[in-house]
Chain A
Amino acid sequence: MSNRVPIIALAGNPNSGKTTVFNALTGARQKVGNWPGVTVERKEGKTRLGDGKEVTIVDLPGIYSLTANSIDERIARDFLLKERPSLVAVVLDVSNFERNLYLPLQLMELGVSRLVLVFNMMDEARAKGMDIDTEGLSRVLGVPIIPTVATKGIGIEKLKEVLALELAKKGEPSPCPLRYGEKVEGAIMALEKAIKEAKSLPQRYPTRWLAIKLLEGDQEYLAHISGTNSPGEGVLSRLTLLQEELEQEIGYDLETALVEKRFGYIKGLMGEFVKRRWDLDQRLSLSDKIDRIVTNRFLGLPIFLFLMWLTFKLTFDVGGIFLDYIDSFFGLLGDKVALLIQTTHGPAWLASLLQDGIIGGVGSVLVFLPNIFFLFLAISIMEETGYMARGAFVMDRLMHAMGLHGKSFIPMVLGFGCNVPAIMATRTLENPKDRIITILVNPLMSCSARLPIYVLFAGALFSAHQGTVIFSLYLLGVVLAIALARLFKTLFFKGEPSPLVMELPPYRMPTWKSVLFNTWHRSMIFVKKAGTIIFGTVVLIWFLASFPLGVEYASQHSIVGRLGTLLAPIFKPAGFGFWQAAVALFFGILAKEVVVGTLGTLYGTEEEKLGAMVAQHFSPLTAYAFMVMSLVYIPCIATIGVIKRETNSWKWTGFAVGYSLFLGWLLAVLIYQGGRLLGLG
């Protein structure tokens, strides 16, 4: 224990600036967004405190309380209960004091850690005319309070000092100063006694916390005490009695009474320690005025669609400008490398591996980096300004009509970038049914990895209508997602979607620094993928295409050629029943951009000439069928992995893989056969 690096947990409401504090403390640059639940991943970083001691800081998900009805809240609570970090730093947006103080009160009630309160956004509080007596407040609450403006790094050094000081104290968990009044306290005590007497009850929760949650009638805790062989029967009977008694006395439900008490206590603190020089709440803020327009019943959707259109314009038109440069760069690089090996009398196989395999394969994927960069740029800007959260509301009705939830919109949009973070973003959905449907249909959103395939094929065979063809594929994905969401909903998940309630953070001017950082960070994931999975795959394919020894490179007699020949008949009804296509699709399971890389390797050419090669092998009809297949069939390995992790079920993972494989094949066949009937073949 003493040798272990101490853990400090970082907690706070969504939009409280918690992630910014985390970055300022650890120096780890991560993304800061504006929609709730942005820190869904468990992030941790190391930092040296004031005394030079090293600690691990764990960034908990942004939460409002500890009721465990959303995954985020459960993650946070269970972490605190299990790991029992000696110190929890709670970040509060003090300009929003009243609501933000609820969480630390809950943490004190849970009673497992010492707290340090970080009063963030002091500048905004001051601008709102608030004067906060942090010293007085700190005395009453019995915990240190450090004022900060994390975006400007103000107060962070002081925070490090105080954390070191508190850590060195190794004291008891911070006690909760809140008391519920004689009657309720009496009931809590009686219940605590009953809990302690129920010896066989697993000791998962602190007794006072358990007693309070039971009085509130929280299902999870009720299930805990009435589990197998009902070890907590004595507690249960006691509870029913106490609840009835209290509710009769209070006149309404106990749960509301307890919540009122907590907020009442906070109001009391506000009255005593927060002076408001003027009341700004009365005035309509600029943020509200913008909301009147962007969430307007008639204007909301057109504005949303316009922004989406702008996003795609930026991605393809602006991104496309850079595409040609990178393209010719790799072409040139390949030629130069091959020439160099030739002139130095290096082995021919090495020239082939470098030019055909690595530079051809990886290069054909990396040319799409500009597109991906601009897509992530647009998404980051929408997140940072706060528009994303509004988008959820604008889309709520439409999403409901699809059988999805307004919040499903965020993962769906992110799916255009990459399905992996998109599926992780479904954690903000509280209802598991909504989550699973959103996860299942998410891979149908054309992620940036599929774009290279579209660009290649549409460019080669539909050069006059390239944009329209690509757009139609994006649209097809969306339409399929809607249709399947509806279908899955009626098949597996009857009942209403859960209601949409979300905090709308004030609009903020995004800082270029953080927007660019987010974009860069996310684009780098793509580059990393190009450097690892894609690199590995293309090298593997090169080997498979060059062996057995003596075969002509990437001919049908090579290993890869034989594998493709084996698979090709399956795709015959879809019109692309030749082995190169089969091999490309097979390896595309690793990552969809590999389809392009594989074709590049198999045809032994880089991006520049690949289009011409593709045009020789495909007709417009078969190319379209192939693109539809690439859109729908099997999510890539990384996505399959994240589906398994997020649904925690092999059944759903298998279902996602199975349905997409079949649907992709079916659609490709339908398109090809239908097209032929219409005489398009």
Chain B
Amino acid sequence: MWPLAMCQQGERVVIKEIAGGMGIKRRLEAMGLYPGEEVEVVLANGGPVILSVKGSRVGIGRGMAFKIFVSNNGMKRRKEE
């Protein structure tokens, strides 16, 4: 597990954890970013990170990109049921 800010351009990763208050978590959720979701790192060149999430592009500020933890094991979390 590592922060999103360390990802390589073009990588596909799974969101593992979002460190931050309820407010930001909920906002990210509504945009389709929540633990278990697979996203593609469209842009990562030391500035903001741009992700492809459910077909749309979401820009994440550098600061926030250090608070979203991802991994690339591709294994989704156990789902309910």
A, B: real partners: yes
Residues of A within 8 A of B (CB): 64-65, 67, 69-70, 95-99, 102-103, 181, 183-184, 217-219, 250-252, 255-257, 259-261, 263-264, 281, 284, 287-288, 291-292, 295-297, 300, 389-390, 392-394, 396-397, 400, 406, 430-431, 496, 498-506
A295-B26 contact, Cβ under 8 Å, with A181-B81, A252-B77, A281-B55: no
A residues less than 8 Å from B22 (CB atoms): 69, 217-219
Whether the pair A257, B30 counts as a contact (CB closer than 8 A) is: no
Whether the pair B48, A65 counts as a contact (CB closer than 8 A) is: no
Whether the pair A291, B42 counts as a contact (CB closer than 8 A) is: yes
Whether the pair B54, A98 counts as a contact (CB closer than 8 A) is: yes
Contact pick for B36, options A260, A397, A502, CB 8 Å: A260
- How far does the alpha carbon of A259 sit from the alpha carbon of B22 in the complex, in Å? 14
B residues less than 8 Å from A396 (CB atoms): 48, 61-63
Q: Which of B23-53 contact A (CB under 8 A)?
A: 23-32, 34-37, 40, 42-43, 45-48, 50, 52-53
A62 to chain B, nearest CB (A): 12
Q: Name which residue of chain A comes closest to B61, CB basis.
A: A500
- How far does the alpha carbon of A291 sit from the alpha carbon of B80 in the complex, in Å? 38
Whether the pair A256, B36 counts as a contact (CB closer than 8 A) is: yes
- How far does the alpha carbon of A69 sit from the alpha carbon of B22 in the complex, in Å? 9
B46 to chain A, nearest CB (A): 4
Whether the pair B27, A397 counts as a contact (CB closer than 8 A) is: no
- How far does the alpha carbon of A70 sit from the alpha carbon of B28 in the complex, in Å? 12
Whether the pair B81, A498 counts as a contact (CB closer than 8 A) is: no
4 smallest CB-CB distances across A and B, nearest first, come from A500-B61, A499-B64, A65-B30, A64-B30
Whether the pair B64, A500 counts as a contact (CB closer than 8 A) is: yes
Whether the pair B45, A504 counts as a contact (CB closer than 8 A) is: no
Contact pick for A499, options B20, B46, B53, CB 8 Å: B20
Contact pick for A297, options B27, B45, B56, B60, CB 8 Å: B45
- How far does the alpha carbon of A397 sit from the alpha carbon of B24 in the complex, in Å? 19
Whether the pair B34, A260 counts as a contact (CB closer than 8 A) is: yes
A503-B58 contact, Cβ under 8 Å, with A219-B22, A260-B36: yes
Whether the pair B29, A259 counts as a contact (CB closer than 8 A) is: yes
A217 to chain B, nearest CB (A): 7
B residues less than 8 Å from A300 (CB atoms): 47
B residues less than 8 Å from A502 (CB atoms): 58-59
Whether the pair B55, A501 counts as a contact (CB closer than 8 A) is: no
- How far does the alpha carbon of A263 sit from the alpha carbon of B50 in the complex, in Å? 21
Contact pick for B53, options A99, A260, A392, CB 8 Å: A99
Whether the pair B45, A296 counts as a contact (CB closer than 8 A) is: yes
Whether the pair A256, B63 counts as a contact (CB closer than 8 A) is: no
Q: Name which residue of chain B comes closest to A130, CB basis.
A: B55
Whether the pair A430, B23 counts as a contact (CB closer than 8 A) is: yes
B residues less than 8 Å from A499 (CB atoms): 20, 24, 60-61, 63-64, 67
A99-B60 contact, Cβ under 8 Å, with A67-B30, A259-B29, A291-B42: no
Contact pick for B63, options A64, A69, A259, A400, CB 8 Å: A400
A residues less than 8 Å from B56 (CB atoms): 96, 99, 503
Q: Name which residue of chain B comes closest to A499, CB basis.
A: B64
- How far does the alpha carbon of A620 sit from the alpha carbon of B61 in the complex, in Å? 44
Residues of B within 8 A of A (CB): 20, 22-32, 34-37, 40, 42-43, 45-48, 50, 52-64, 67, 77-81
- How far does the alpha carbon of A20 sit from the alpha carbon of B8 in the complex, in Å? 37
A188 to chain B, nearest CB (A): 14
B residues less than 8 Å from A103 (CB atoms): 30
Whether the pair A96, B55 counts as a contact (CB closer than 8 A) is: yes
Contact pick for B43, options A219, A295, A503, CB 8 Å: A295
- 26 A-B pairs with CB atoms under 8 Å apart are A64-B27, A67-B26, A69-B22, A70-B27, A98-B54, A99-B56, A219-B22, A256-B35, A256-B36, A260-B34, A261-B80, A263-B34, A281-B55, A284-B42, A295-B45, A297-B45, A389-B59, A393-B61, A430-B27, A498-B24, A500-B48, A500-B61, A501-B64, A503-B31, A503-B57, A504-B59
Whether the pair B60, A501 counts as a contact (CB closer than 8 A) is: yes
Q: Name which residue of chain B comes closest to A260, CB basis.
A: B36
Q: Name which residue of chain B comes closest to A266, CB basis.
A: B54
A501-B27 contact, Cβ under 8 Å, with A252-B35, A281-B52: yes
B residues less than 8 Å from A297 (CB atoms): 45-47
- How far does the alpha carbon of A393 sit from the alpha carbon of B55 in the complex, in Å? 20
B residues less than 8 Å from A291 (CB atoms): 42-43, 50, 57
Q: Name which residue of chain A comes closest to B23, CB basis.
A: A69
Q: Name which residue of chain A comes closest to B28, CB basis.
A: A501
A residues less than 8 Å from B55 (CB atoms): 95-99, 281
B residues less than 8 Å from A296 (CB atoms): 45, 47
Whether the pair B47, A394 counts as a contact (CB closer than 8 A) is: yes
A288-B43 contact, Cβ under 8 Å, with A251-B78, A499-B20, A499-B63: yes
B residues less than 8 Å from A496 (CB atoms): 63
- How far does the alpha carbon of A505 sit from the alpha carbon of B56 in the complex, in Å? 8
- How far does the alpha carbon of A430 sit from the alpha carbon of B28 in the complex, in Å? 13
Whether the pair B54, A99 counts as a contact (CB closer than 8 A) is: yes
A residues less than 8 Å from B25 (CB atoms): 255
A residues less than 8 Å from B57 (CB atoms): 287-288, 291, 503-506
B residues less than 8 Å from A430 (CB atoms): 23-24, 27
Whether the pair B77, A504 counts as a contact (CB closer than 8 A) is: no
B residues less than 8 Å from A406 (CB atoms): 61
B residues less than 8 Å from A292 (CB atoms): 43, 45
- How far does the alpha carbon of A407 sit from the alpha carbon of B34 in the complex, in Å? 22
B residues less than 8 Å from A255 (CB atoms): 25, 29
User: Which of A97, A103, A181, A396 counts the most B-chain CB atoms under 10 A from its CB?
Assistant: A396
- How far does the alpha carbon of A388 sit from the alpha carbon of B79 in the complex, in Å? 39
A residues less than 8 Å from B37 (CB atoms): 263
- How far does the alpha carbon of A393 sit from the alpha carbon of B62 in the complex, in Å? 9
B residues less than 8 Å from A67 (CB atoms): 26-27, 30
B residues less than 8 Å from A218 (CB atoms): 22, 26
Whether the pair B54, A256 counts as a contact (CB closer than 8 A) is: no
- How far does the alpha carbon of A257 sit from the alpha carbon of B25 in the complex, in Å? 13
Whether the pair B31, A264 counts as a contact (CB closer than 8 A) is: no
- How far does the alpha carbon of A217 sit from the alpha carbon of B81 in the complex, in Å? 21
B11 to chain A, nearest CB (A): 14
Whether the pair A257, B80 counts as a contact (CB closer than 8 A) is: yes
- How far does the alpha carbon of A228 sit from the alpha carbon of B59 in the complex, in Å? 41
Q: Name which residue of chain A comes closest to B29, CB basis.
A: A259
A residues less than 8 Å from B64 (CB atoms): 499-501
B residues less than 8 Å from A97 (CB atoms): 55
B27 to chain A, nearest CB (A): 6
Q: Name which residue of chain B comes closest to A184, CB basis.
A: B80
